[in-house]
Chain A
Amino acid sequence: MRLISINGHHLSESQINCLREILVVEITSHSETIRTKRTDDMTVFYHYRQMAFNLLQLIDEDPIAPLQQFADPDGHAGPDVCGEPVVIIDNVKVNYLTRMETRMAISAAGFNLEELKKVQKEKGFDIKNHNDLLKMIFEPK
C-alpha cells in the first residue's frame, strides 16, 4: 500500500480520494473560468490549474510528472521524489503547498463549495468537511 504524506500528515485512502476530487474540481472550475472569462490576470488561473494537475499527477505516482514545477522560487525542486514508489510530499515543498492551500481554500470556500459537497455526497466520503482535510494537510505538523 502506498503512503502519501503531506507536511508530515499521513493521508488515508479516503483522504487521498477526497484530495483527488478536490483537485479535479479545481481543474474543472479553472478551465471553465479560463474559457469564458477575461480578467486582469488570467495567468493566475493558468497557474493554479497547472499546479492542481501537477499535484494530481504526483499523488498518482506519475514518474513523468513535471516535478520541477513544484520548485519554489528558491529552487527547492522535488527530483528526489521522482520515480520513488512511495510518494512523500515533504516539508521541502511547504512554501509551494502553502500557496496552493491559499488558492484552494478560497476556491473551496467559494464557488466550488456546492460542487464539492455534491461530489462528497456521491462518493460517500467519510470526511465531514473538506476544509478540515485541507487545513490539516497544509499545516506543518
Chain B
Amino acid sequence: MSSSVEQKYPLAPLVINHNVVSEPDRKLLQDALIWSIKTSTNYLHQSVSGNKPNEFEVFRQRRKNAFELIQIFDGCAYAPYDPSARLRNKTFPRVAMAEAELPMHLIETIRAVLWDFITVPDHMNEETHEWVKRLMGYFNTEE
C-alpha cells in the first residue's frame, strides 16, 4: 500500500466512550460481529426449513443489528440518531462514539453477541474470556 493512499484515505480511529479501540480489539470486535451474522444465518436457515420458533425474529433482528454495528464501526455509516435525543430523554444511553451515540438496542446486541460468543464451548478459554471482558468494557453505559 502506498503512503499516498494512506494519506488520502486514513484509517479513522474508532472511539467508544472516549476510549480509542486498539487495532487488535477492533479486529476482535469485527470478528465477533461476523461470527454473529454467520451463526444467525445458520439459525435462520434451519428455521425457515421447518417451523419458525419464537427466536426466529430475535435472530433476524440480531443479524440486522450486527451488520449495522459493523458498518458504524467501519465508519461508513454514522448512527443516524439525533445527537440531542439524549437531552430530551434522560435514559438515552451514554455509549458515545466519536461522532455519534449508540442507541440501546445496538448496545444490547453487541453485549448479547459477546455473551453468546463466550458461551460457545470452543470459545471457553482464558484468552477469549479476557478479550471478551475487555470489549464489554467499551460498552459500559454507566455514567
Known A-B contacts A17-B45, A39-B9, A56-B41; the reply to A31 vs B76 at CB < 8 A is: no
Contact partners of A27 in chain B: CB under 8 A: 34, 37, 67
A27-B67, A31-B34, A38-B11 known; A61 vs B48 contact (CB < 8 Å)? yes
- Contacting pair B60 A60 (CB below 8 A): yes
Note all chain B residues with C-beta closer than 8 A to A15: none
* A31 & B38 in contact (Cβ 8 Å cutoff): no
The distance from the CB of A75 to the nearest CB of chain B, in whole angstroms, is 23
Q: How many chain B residues have a CB neighbour from A under 8 Å?
A: 26
Nearest CB to that of B60 among chain A residues? A62
Expressed in whole angstroms, the minimum distance between the Cβ of B6 and any Cβ of chain A is: 6
Q: Are A35 and B74 in contact (CB under 8 A)?
A: yes
Q: How far, in angstroms, from A64 to B65 measured CA to CA in the complex?
A: 12
- Contact: B76 with A46, CB < 8 Å? yes
Question: Is B111 in contact with chain A by the CB < 8 A criterion?
Answer: no
Residues of chain B from 48 to 91 with CB closer than 8 A to chain A in the complex: 48-49, 60, 63-64, 67, 70-71, 74, 76
Kindly supply a per-residue 1/0 record for chain B positions 1-39, scoring 1 wherever the CB is within 8 Å of any chain A CB and 0 otherwise: 100011011110000000000000011001000100110
Interface of B is mostly: helix
CA distance A71 to B54 in the complex (A): 32
Are B67 and A60 in touch, CB under 8 angstroms?
Answer: no
The contact sample of 12 A-B pairs, CB cut-off 8 A, is A17-B45, A20-B41, A24-B38, A28-B38, A32-B30, A38-B1, A46-B71, A46-B76, A57-B60, A57-B63, A60-B41, A64-B64
Chain A residues with a Cβ under 8 A of chain B: 2, 13, 16-17, 20, 24, 27-28, 31-32, 34-35, 37-40, 42, 46, 50, 53, 56-57, 60-62, 64
Taking Cβ atoms with an 8 Å cutoff, the residues of B that contact A are 1, 5-6, 8-11, 26-27, 30, 34, 37-38, 41, 44-45, 48-49, 60, 63-64, 67, 70-71, 74, 76
Q: Which are the 7 A-B pairs with shortest beta-carbon distances?
A: A38-B9, A46-B76, A60-B44, A34-B74, A38-B5, A53-B67, A28-B34
